[in-house]
Amino acid sequence: MWLWFAKLGSPRWFYEVSGRWLPWLSGAMLLFMSVGAVWALLFLPPDYQQSFTTRILVVHVAVAGTSLAFFPLMAVAGTITLVWKMKLADMVAKNAAPLGAWFSLVTLATGSLWGSVMWGTWWEWTDARLVSMLFQFFLLLSVIALRSAIEDSEKAAKACALLSIVGCINTVIIKYSVEWWNVLHQPSSPINMSNDSANGPEFWLVTGVMIVAVYLFLTVSLILTTRNEILERERRSRWVKDIIS
């Protein structure tokens, strides 16, 4: 177990194994992505209430679900960085933060796009999910800001690791407090948020395909950026020089 763990921490081992996995993962991602996208955008029957806007919702739900994975991922990577000083964990976490911010932004954009049709407004403070997603976005930005503010990369790694752990706990507290804040302000809102039940089984099937596709996309992007990071940080070692030349 420990041997395996130590091996996983070796950037070189990761580079080699991920290189073997990458074509398979990318292939699976393309397959799921194209099936999901074509199905959702061309064939998914319009909902009787929401009409064609459900097609936006497929993408929105898939991206939103995936974007919730970033803080736990970064917190786990951060714990590994702080406790076991494993450099690989930080290489993953470093690239996860901007990717997570991007996912959150896409969630917000698709959410408000859908909202503009369904609610007639681009932004709705009474939707707890939008508001807590906004704050998750801000928290991810703060991790990125901290990383770019610290010049010493080792110090930056540890500081961001700690902030990710604190941020992860915070997103959970924010999520609940915003939901609760929202429930109490609900009487003033004319909008009924319980639209999930309106979607049929086919919607959830497409969305499932899309969620798998987005998770694969996340994995592939993280592997690619981490491989870049490995090459950059290990550029003086022999095995990297052999690959490049």
Partner 1 sequence: MKADESSTYQAFVGTLKRDLLIAFKRKNEIANPFIFFLIVAALFPIGITPDPVRLAEIAAGVLWISALLASLLAMDNLYSADFEDGSLEQLLLSHHPLYFLVLAKNIGHWLVSGLPVVLISPLIAYMLNFPRESYMVLFITLLMGTPILSLLGSIGVALTVGLGGRGLVLAVITLPMSVPVLITGTLAIQETGNSAPLVGYLAILGAMLVGSLSLAPLASAVALRISVN
Which is closer to partner 1, CB of 113 or CB of 141? 141
**For residues 203-222, which are near partner 1 according to CB under 8 A?**
none
Rule CB under 8 A: say whether 13 interacts with partner 1. Answer: no
Which is closer to partner 1, CB of 8 or CB of 146? 146
Among 109, 145, 198, 243, binds partner 1 (CB under 8 A): 145
Q: Can you tell me the distance from the alpha carbon of 103 to that of 49, in angstroms, rounded to the nearest whole number?
A: 27
Site string for partner 1, 52-91 (x = CB under 8 A): ------------------------------x---------
Rule CB under 8 A: say whether 139 interacts with partner 1. Answer: yes
Rule CB under 8 A: say whether 93 interacts with partner 1. Answer: no
Part of the chain binding partner 1 (CB under 8 A), chosen from 54-62, 144-152, 211-219, 222-230: 144-152
Which residue, 68, 95, 66, 89, is CA-closest to 213? 66
**For residues 153-192, which are near partner 1 according to CB under 8 A?**
154-155, 158-159, 162-163, 165-166, 170, 173-174, 177-178, 180-181, 184
Q: Can you tell me the distance from the alpha carbon of 165 to that of 82, in angstroms, rounded to the nearest whole number?
A: 10
Given CA atoms 13, 14, 15, 19 in this order, what sign does their dihedral have?
Answer: positive
Which residue, 52, 25, 63, is CA-closest to 199? 52
CB of 212 to partner 1, least distance (A): 31
Among 26, 116, 142, 221, binds partner 1 (CB under 8 A): 142
Rule CB under 8 A: say whether 105 interacts with partner 1. Answer: no
Site size toward partner 1, by CB under 8 A:
27
- The phi and psi torsions of 51 (rounded to 5 degrees) equal 50, -135
Rule CB under 8 A: say whether 135 interacts with partner 1. Answer: yes
Where does this chain bind partner 1 (CB under 8 A)? 82, 135, 138-139, 141-142, 145-146, 149-150, 152, 154-155, 158-159, 162-163, 165-166, 170, 173-174, 177-178, 180-181, 184
